[in-house]
Amino acid sequence: MLLQIPGVLTPEQVAHFRSRLDGAGWVDGNITSGYQSAKAKFNEQLPDESAEARELGEAILVALSRTPLFMAAALPKQVFPPLFNRYRQGMTFGNHVDSAIRSHGPTGVRIRTDISATLFLCAPGEYDGGELLVEDTYGVQRVKLDAGSMVLYPATSVHRVEPITRGTRLASFFWIQSLVRDDGQRSVLFDLDMAIIRLTKDHPGDPALISLTGVYNNLLRMWGQP
């Protein structure tokens, strides 16, 4: 399941992020990553131990915990401390699949990457190119979102970032280990959850809600790995 989640950060938060990131110490994206996809990667990154990455990463984790759509779709067991990248003109990240296990040096966090996340920090009009292309069973999805909005997609997907032909693209990226490892099972739970929410709004007293909520919880009990 590929899901767009608008408004994770407010415009004020995005402005604060941008001013902090402007003055940060960016390094070659390959210095911080020793994995195979490094060959395809041509961008800049904030070192994971940098003060900006830590402070802004914390703010993102708080924002996620207040975003019901994220909680419902990801069913997070653990969120990797958010990282930050920057693509200037000519930069790109070719086709790759994210590593299955990621370790974060400063915190010792180590997770299985079930879901990949990109949180956009620039408006689409600020740069040309830079779309995130994700290959899924329905074909290639092309994603370029408003500043403060986020996309979730299965970490098993082949994906790439198109070359930037004008301007600069700033984003945060991270992974989630979910309580429900399988993307298909997670999608079923998400659809059921959304249907229950709609039914609760349209027919609040319907006794079927008790059954459906029971089914949701019993499926989560069956599939969840806390």
> Which positions touch Ni ion (CB under 5 A)?
98
Q: Whole-number minimum distance, CB 161 to Ni ion, in Å?
A: 8
Beta bridge partners of 155: none
CA separation for the pair 109, 64 (Å, rounded):
18
Report the nearest approach of Ni ion to the CB of residue 40 (Å).
9
Of 158 and 194, the one with the shorter C-beta distance to Ni ion is 158
Closest CB to Ni ion among residues 161, 189 = 161
| H or E element that contains 223 | helix 208-223
In the complex with Ni ion, the residue whose CB is nearer, 32 or 200, is 32
Q: How far is the CB of 173 from Ni ion (least distance, A)?
A: 7
User: Is residue 84 left, alpha or beta, with left meaning phi > 0 and alpha meaning psi from -120 to 50?
Assistant: beta
For Ni ion, the closer CB: 52 or 98: 98
Whole-number Å distance between alpha carbons of 32 and 29: 6
Smallest CA-to-CA distance from 156 within 190, 182, 119 is with 182
Q: Which is nearer to Ni ion, 43 or 178 (CB)?
A: 43
What's the min distance (Å) between Cβ of 119 and Ni ion?
14
Q: Which residues contact 56 (CB under 8 A, 6 or more apart)?
A: 17, 20, 21, 82, 84, 172
How near is the Cβ of 35 to Ni ion at its closest, in Å?
A: 10
Quick one: tokens of 48? 């994971």
- Given its phi and psi angles, is residue 94 left (phi above 0), alpha (psi -120 to 50 degrees) or beta? beta
